[in-house]
Amino acid sequence: MRVAAAVTALSLGAVGLTALGAPLARAAEAGTGTAGEQVAKLPISSFGALAVDSAHQRVYVSDDRRTSGAGSVQVYDFDGERVATLATDDVPSSLALSPDGTVLEVAQTSGVISFDTATYTRTARYYGNYDVYCPRDAGFAGGRVWFTETNNTSDCDNRTYTLYGTADGRTVATGWNDTGRLRLFDDQRNPDRLILAQPRTTAVTNPFLGVFDASGTTLVRTAERRFADAAGQGGLDMRDVAQSPDGSLIAVADARTGTRLLNADDLSDADTAYQPLPEGAVASAVAFSGDGKYIARGAAATGGTADLLIQAADPTDATPPLEFAFEGALDGNKVQPRGLAWSEDGSRLFAVTNGGSGYEYWLHVIRPPAAQYDTRFTGTLATNVAQPVVGEPLGIRGRLEIDGPALAQPVKVTAVRTDANGDRTLAAAEVDADGTFTVLDVPSVVGPATYTVSFTGDLTHRPTEDVSLETVVAKAPTSIALTAPAEGTKGVGLRITGTLTGQGRALPAGITLSVARTDKKGSYALTSAAVAADGSFTVDDVPGANGEVVYEIGYAGDDLHLASGATATVRVRKPVA
C-alpha cells in the first residue's frame, strides 16, 4: 500500500482516530503501536463479504464464487494471521454478526447457518425455501436473522429476490421482493435497523434503497428512495452501504456519483456532501469508524490514484483526507465492494483488495499513521545521454526531496514509459541519500517517448506530483570499418575485408551490403557482400583500370538501425610488362 495524495496529520487513539495534538508517545501509550500495515493473501477466488468481530479480534471473509459443492469462511486475527476455517455445506456469500458479536450468520446457497464466534461451532441452520445456485444475502436485526433468495437457478442478478425472516427456527416470508440480487446491510450499533438495497443491473435502471424497522413482529419500512430524475438520469449504482454509529446518517458507495450521504429518517440528501473522490476513482466501499468520527471510502482506481480515503465523518470538516493507493502485484489494486470494516475501537481498518489475474484477493490490516510529511521532485528530469537510442540503456535522472523522518524502507521511485507501443512500467529506482535517482530503461521503439516518474509515498510520507520528460528515441547507429590494400594491379584480383557493427539491438541475420567501384572509366555496382554472424564480410574484385579506384560499401539500415557506409581507395598500377 502506498500513500497517494495530499493528506493531513492524524493519529490513532485507543478509542479511534484523533487529531494530531497529542504527541506520538501518547498514541503509543494508548495501545495503538506504530502506524503500519499487514497484508494477507486470501485463499479465495471471488470475494463475498467481510465481517469484524472486535470482541474476539477476528475478521471473517467469505468466497462468493458461484459453483456447487461445499465452501468455507476464512478467519483471521487482527494481525492478518489466518487462525481458522469455518466449513459450510454450500458456497457462502454474505456474512452478518449479532449485535453482541456472539453469533456469525453465514448465508449460503441452501440457507443460513450460524456459528458461535467463541468456539466456531454451529448453533443453528435456517433452510431456504429453495436450494438454488444463486447466492443469498444475510442480515441481523431486531434479534432475528434475515435473508434474501430467489427461486431461479440462472441469471442470478436479474431474477426476482424475496426477503425472509426467521422465527423459532423457521423461515417467515416478509412479502418484500423485487428484481435483482437484493442486498442486506445491518449494523451492530443500530441493532433494530435493516437496510435493503437493490443493485443496478441490465433489468434495473432506477434501483431503490429502503430502510426497515425490525424491532417489532412485523418488518416495517420507514424510508424508501429511488434516485433517478424525471429524465431517468442519476439512478443509483450501489456498491456498499454504511450507517453512522448514532444512526442519523447513511452513506452509500455509488459507482456513478461517488459517496452519497443521506439522512436516515427519510433518505434525503444530507445538507453537506463529501468532497468528490479523486478523478478516475469509482466508489466501491464505505465504513464509519466505531466512534463515528471518521469514515473510510473505498474505490477502484488505476496507477497512483487513491483507492482509499480516511477522513472526518462530518462532511463540514474540511480537513483533507488520508488517501492511499493500492498498486502492484503484491497487494491488489482496488478496494472490493463491501470490502471495508473497522475494529470497534478504530485502531484498525480492514480492507479487501482485488488485482493480479482478477481472481486474486488480499486482506489489508491498516493502522493509519500518526503524521505525514511532504515530498517533492525538484528541478527537471534529464537523460544521461544526449540522444536516446532504441535498444541502448538509458537513464532518466532526477531528484526527490523528503521532509520529516527517513522512510523505514529504501526510498524508491517508479516510472512509466509511454511510446507508440503504449505504457510500460519500468523497474523502481532507489533514491540515494542526497535525493538523486536514475531510472533505467532500454527503449524498444523509435519515435517520441514520455517518461513519467512517481513517488507514491508510504504511511508517513505524502506522494509527490508526478514529473514527466518528453524525448525522441532515435534509430541506433551503425558503422562499417574497412581494411583494404594501399595498391593493386590492373587485371589482378584484390580483396577488401570489413566489419559491420551496430548499437542497440543485434543486427538481423542475412544482411547484404551494397558495393560500388568508381575509377576513371566511371562507377559500377558490384556484387553485394554478405555479412557473417560476427559482422565480418569480404569484397573481392579485379580492377579494370589503372589509377585511383574508390570502393564504396553501404548498409541500408532497418527499422531499428541507421544506414552507414565507408570507402576505401586503392592505387591501381598497370601490370609490369
Q: What is the DSSP string of 25-77?
A: HHHHHTT--S-EEEEEEES-SSEEEEEEETTTTEEEEEE----SS-EEEEEEE
Q: E strands within 117-237?
A: 122-127, 137-141, 144-149, 160-167, 170-179, 183-185, 193-197, 208-213, 220-226
Distance, in Å, from the CA atom of 26 to the CA atom of 134, rounded to the nearest integer, reads 50
> Is the per-residue pLDDT at 210 higher than 80?
yes
Give Cα separations from 455 to 163, 278, 414, 460 (angstroms): 48, 17, 6, 13
User: Please, where in the chain does CATH 2.60.40.730 lie?
Assistant: 478-573
Indicate the DSSP class of residue 24: H
Distance, in Å, from the CA atom of 278 to the CA atom of 307, rounded to the nearest integer, reads 9
Q: Find, among 291, 261, 410, 309, the residue nearest to 8 by Cα.
A: 309
What is the sign of the dihedral through the CA atoms of 39, 41, 42 and 46?
Answer: positive
Q: Find, among 512, 494, 482, the residue nearest to 549 by Cα.
A: 494
Distance, in Å, from the CA atom of 476 to the CA atom of 491, rounded to the nearest integer, reads 40
Which amino acid belongs to residue 102?
T
How high is the pLDDT of residue 21?
A: 23
CATH architecture of 375-473: Sandwich (2.60)
Distance, in Å, from the CA atom of 551 to the CA atom of 529, rounded to the nearest integer, reads 12
Mean confidence (pLDDT) of the chain: 87
Most confident of 37-46, 123-132, 488-497: 488-497
What average pLDDT does this structure show over 391-407? 90
CA atoms within 13 A on the CB side of 312: 14
pLDDT tens digits along 260-294? 999 999 999 999 999 999 999 999 999 999 888 88
CATH of 478-573 among 3.40.50.150, 2.60.40.730, 3.30.230.10, 2.60.120.260: 2.60.40.730
H or E element in which residue 350 lies:
strand 349-355
> Is the per-residue pLDDT at 463 higher than 70?
yes
Q: What is the edge-to-edge ordering of all strands in the sheet holding 183-185?
A: 183-185, 193-197, 208-213, 220-226
The alpha carbons of the chain give a radius of gyration, in whole angstroms, of 34
Confidence of residue 16 (pLDDT cuts 50, 70, 90): very low
Q: Find, among 188, 102, 194, the residue nearest to 139 by Cα.
A: 194
What average pLDDT does this structure show over 222-251? 95
* 157 three-class SS: helix
Confidence of residue 568 (pLDDT cuts 50, 70, 90): very high
Q: Find, among 242, 278, 243, 230, the residue nearest to 258 by Cα.
A: 278
pLDDT tens digits along 439-460? 999 999 999 999 999 987 766 6
How high is the pLDDT of residue 352?
A: 96
Confidence of residue 413 (pLDDT cuts 50, 70, 90): very high
Region of residue 180 (left: phi > 0; alpha: psi -120 to 50; beta: else): left
C-alpha cell at 116: 458461535
How high is the pLDDT of residue 32?
A: 34
How high is the pLDDT of residue 411?
A: 86
pLDDT tens digits along 95-132? 999 988 999 999 988 888 999 999 999 998 877 777 66
> Is the per-residue pLDDT at 176 higher than 90?
yes
Share of the chain above pLDDT 90, in %: 69
C-alpha cell at 159: 431474477
How high is the pLDDT of residue 7?
A: 32
How high is the pLDDT of residue 356?
A: 77
Q: Which residues contact 80 (CB under 8 A, 6 or more apart)?
A: 38, 39, 40, 363, 364, 365
* 273 three-class SS: coil
What average pLDDT does this structure show over 196-201? 94
> Is the per-residue pLDDT at 23 higher than 60?
no
How high is the pLDDT of residue 328?
A: 67
> Is the per-residue pLDDT at 214 higher than 80?
yes
User: Please, where in the chain does CATH 2.60.40.10 lie?
Assistant: 375-473
> Is the per-residue pLDDT at 199 higher than 90?
yes
How high is the pLDDT of residue 18?
A: 25
List, in sequence order, every residue forming a beta bridge with 260; answer none if it has no partner: 252
pLDDT tens digits along 346-386? 889 999 999 877 889 999 999 876 556 788 999 999 999 99
Which residue's C-alpha cell is 541502448?
Answer: 392
> Is the per-residue pLDDT at 154 higher than 70?
yes
How high is the pLDDT of residue 262?
A: 97
